[in-house]
Amino acid sequence: MGAERAYFPTTKYSIEQSDGVTTISDYVRLRTIEFFGVKHEIDVIPNFVNCNIYHPDPERRPARKRLMHISNFRPVKRVFDCIRILASVRREVDAELWMVGDGPLRNEAEALAYELGLQDYVEFLGKQDHVERLFPQAHVVLMPSELEAFGLAALEGQACGVPPVATDCGGVPELINHGVDGYLAPVGDIEAQAAYVVEMLSDDRLYERVASAARHNAESRFCASKIIPLYEGHYQRLC
């Protein structure tokens, strides 16, 4: 939003007049320096997840493999890609898709599901207050976004032991270790993203290894207990 012309002067002034500035990824830090010409230090403190609330529960997963996408259904989220990924995955794996959230492209996404004959395999759940209850019921999180400053949905999935398949853009590569705790593919490469989903869902040993690594990544790097002290330290230095 700060890159919008109308907001630019206010955003630049606010950054320059602040005693401390933090951002959620190194990608955003570098873009901020480049775009606004910021001279002073910007601290990177990543997003975090409550690992006690977001946690695995394999017994809640259905027999049919389930993909999940959560967003505000704006164009940048590329929600149509999720449905096309499902169409490709279903050629080899019996899978379904949960679309969580709401926004301007929801109706068009529902229409695409019908157009592709997937209406029985795609469920639109709308906005949900307790997504921590939904993640453990999925096998893979889809995040085909055109741009993500960080990728919080991928982190929440990892915390629940649900590997993400995401695009290698913005701050996402700072979160996902490709081939270890999730997978990364180019924006718009539906077949590559679908192939990673199929690869995991067709190999139980591989899936369990990646799912376990996803949970470990969230616990060891992004739990609230690790990140909140970074904010406290930042405030203490400023004071």
Angle between helical axes of 8-17 and 26-36 (0-180°, round to 10): 110
Confidence of residue 144 (pLDDT cuts 50, 70, 90): very high
Determine, yes or no, domain membership for 7. yes
User: What mean pLDDT comes out for the span 19-28?
Assistant: 96
Are 16 and 85 members of one domain?
no
User: What mean pLDDT comes out for the span 32-39?
Assistant: 91
Are 33 and 99 members of one domain?
no
Residue 171 burial class via C-beta count within 10 angstroms: exposed 0-12, middle 13-18, buried 19 and up: buried
> Which residue, among 113, 79, 76, 72, has the nearest Cα to 96 in the 3D structure?
113
Indicate which CATH number applies to the domain containing 133.
Answer: 3.40.50.2000
Cα separation, 170 vs 76, in Å, equals: 12
What pLDDT score was predicted for residue 40? 84
Are 64 and 32 members of one domain?
no
Domain that holds residue 63: 58-221
Indicate the average pLDDT of the chain. 96
Are 171 and 193 members of one domain?
yes
Are 27 and 136 members of one domain?
no
Q: Amino acid identity, residue 139?
A: H
And the tokens for 57? 């529960």
* Domain count within the chain: 2
Determine, yes or no, domain membership for 37. yes
Are 12 and 123 members of one domain?
no
Are 160 and 216 members of one domain?
yes
- Report in angstroms the alpha-carbon separations of 166 from 5, 9, 70, 144, 238: 29, 33, 12, 5, 36
Cα separation, 153 vs 98, in Å, equals: 14
The sheet with strand 95-100 has its strands ordered as 122-126, 95-100, 65-70, 140-143, 164-167, 183-185
pLDDT in tens, 98-128: 999 999 999 999 999 999 999 999 999 999 9
Are 21 and 70 members of one domain?
no
And the tokens for 209? 């290894």
Range 80-95 burial, b when 16+ CB lie within 10 A, else e: bbbbbbbbbbbeebeb
- CB of 214 closer than 8 Å to CB of 157: yes
Are 142 and 208 members of one domain?
yes
pLDDT > 70? residue 2: no
Determine, yes or no, domain membership for 100. yes
pLDDT > 70? residue 32: yes
Q: Which residues contact 39 (CB under 8 A, 6 or more apart)?
A: none
Whether the model pTM is above 0.85: yes
> For the ranges 13-17, 59-63, 132-136, 189-193, which has the lowest average pLDDT?
59-63
What pLDDT score was predicted for residue 130? 95
Q: Strands, E, within the chain: which ranges? A: 22-23, 43-44, 65-70, 95-100, 122-126, 140-143, 164-167, 183-185
And the tokens for 52? 């006690």
Count, residues in the chain: 239
What pLDDT score was predicted for residue 60? 82
Are 36 and 68 members of one domain?
no
Determine, yes or no, domain membership for 114. yes
pLDDT in tens, 44-101: 999 999 999 999 998 888 889 999 999 999 999 999 999 999 999 999 999 999 999 9
pLDDT > 70? residue 1: no
